[in-house]
Amino acid sequence: MIVIICPGQGSQTPGFLAPWLAEPAMATRLDELSAAAGVDLAAHGTVSDADTIRDTAIAQPLIVAAGILTLEALLDGRRDRVGGIAGHSVGEFTAAAGAGVLSGTDAVRLVAARGAAMAEAAAAAPTGMSAVIGADQDELLTRLDELGLEPANFNGGGQIVVAGELDALERLKSEPPAGARVIPLQVAGAFHTRHMAPAVDRLRNAASNVTASDPSLALWTNRDGSQVSDGATFVDLLVGQVSSPVRWDLTMESFAAQGVTGLIEVAPAGALVGLAKRALRGVPTVAIKTPDDLAAAHDLIDGKS
C-alpha cells in the first residue's frame, strides 16, 4: 500500500517553487491558487527570502499550494494505485484536496484564512515552539506541566515539539529532561496549543462557506491517527486541529497497521520521510522536491522500485 504524505509549516525554503513553475501549465495553476488565497504565491515561492516565507500567513498557503501542484502531477492516471493520504498539521489541507474532500481552490482559500488567524493569535503574546529529542515522554510531559508548556506535535521517532511562552521554552532548554536535546524552532507562535484558540472560530466561520465531499482515498487524521470516511467530519477536524496536538506518531502507527509498503512526500518534501525512516524502518520513501523526483515516485506507485 502506497501512502502519500503532505508536510507542514517549516518545510518551505527560499526559491523551492522555481523548478515547478518552469512548466507553463503549473505556473497557470499556481496563478489560480494564488487568486484563491489572495497571496502572490509565485513570488513567494521563487524570490522571497527566508524571513518573508516564514510568516505564517504566507507559509501556510504556499506549502499547501506546492503540495497541490505535486499531487496533480503525481496522481494523474495513477489515483487507483494509491492506498491513502495524510498530512502533518497544515499539510492536512493538502491531503484534503488530494482525497477530494476539498477542491484545490477551497483548500488554499481556507488555509489562507487559517494562516492569517493563527498569525494574529500568535501576535497576542511572545510564544514559540521547540523540538525535544530523546526525552522520556512521561518525564517530559511532567516537566511541561511545571513550566506551563504544552506538547504540540508528537512526531514519533523520539521527537516531540512543545510550545508556549518564550521564557518557559528557554527554561526548558537550560534545564532539559535527562538525555534530551531542546532545539528552538523558527516559527511565529505556539501552534496547536491553547494560545491558538482565538483562531478556531475564525477558521470555523470560513469553513462554513465550503462544500466538503467524502474522501476518494483513505484519509487519516492527525487528531488520533484514525481513518476518516466522512468529508464534513474531516473539515471539522481541520478546524479543531489549530489548537490541539498533532499526533503524527499515531498516524504513522496507522500506516504500519494498514500494511504500508511505500511513502511519497509531496513538495516541499523532506521532513516527513525523515521521521518515517526512524519510525517505519525499511519502508521505501520518495521525497518529491522538484519535478525531477516525480519519476521515482511514479516508479514506487507502479511497483518498479
Active site residues: 89, 192
Q: Are 201 and 59 in contact (CB under 8 A)?
A: no
Residue 268 Rama label (left phi>0; alpha psi -120 to 50; beta):
beta
156-189 as b/e: b if 16+ CB within 10 A: bbbbbbbbbbeebbebbeeebbeebebeebebbb
Question: What φ, ψ does residue 303 adopt, rounded to 5°?
Answer: 75, 25
**E-strand stretches of the chain:** 2-6, 84-87, 127-133, 150-156, 159-165, 181-184, 218-219, 246-247, 262-265, 285-287
Question: What φ, ψ does residue 235 adopt, rounded to 5°?
Answer: -65, -40
Which residues touch 267 (CB under 8 Å, ≥6 apart)?
16, 17, 20, 66, 67, 69, 70, 288, 289, 290
d(CA 302, CA 297): 9
